[in-house]
Amino acid sequence: MSKSTSSAIRLSINDDISRALSQAKKLYPTLSDPEILKLGLSKIVRESNQEYLASSERYKIRRFSAHSVGEDYLSDPMEDIYTSDMGKKVQLS
């Protein structure tokens, strides 16, 4: 079990923060202002981690595919099956 540490953050409430807190109070009426701020910070961190993981997954997929077929094959435009001049042009109405 990890020990929880506490830190104090001093935040001046300006008009922008006041508006943001009042909007958040509509979504989370039972939370206090510090709890709403913690929720917002955790959401930012979670989304940041998800973006990092997504880019990491794309990198891994590219690396594995390059290893399986060879980097030269993936970088060669002559190996591309589909090009802009292929197929029948369709006009959507």
44 lies in some domain: yes
Q: Taking residues 37-50, what's their average pLDDT?
A: 83
Number of domains the chain contains: 1
Return the pLDDT at 73.
65
89 lies in some domain: no
59 lies in some domain: yes
Domain limits for position 64: 15-78
Separation between Cα atoms, residue 29 and residue 7, nearest integer Å: 24
Identity of the residue numbered 88: K
Return the pLDDT at 71.
65
5 lies in some domain: no
Place of tokens 């190996």: 79
> Contact 56/48 with Cβ under 8 angstroms?
no
Over residues 44-75, the pLDDT tens digits come to: 888 877 777 777 777 777 777 776 766 666 66
Q: Taking residues 30-36, what's their average pLDDT?
A: 90
> Contact 36/28 with Cβ under 8 angstroms?
yes
64 lies in some domain: yes
Return the pLDDT at 47.
81
Residue 82 has pLDDT above 80, yes or no: no
Residues 6+ apart with CB under 8 A from 79: 73
39 lies in some domain: yes
84 lies in some domain: no
Residues 6+ apart with CB under 8 A from 40: 24
62 lies in some domain: yes
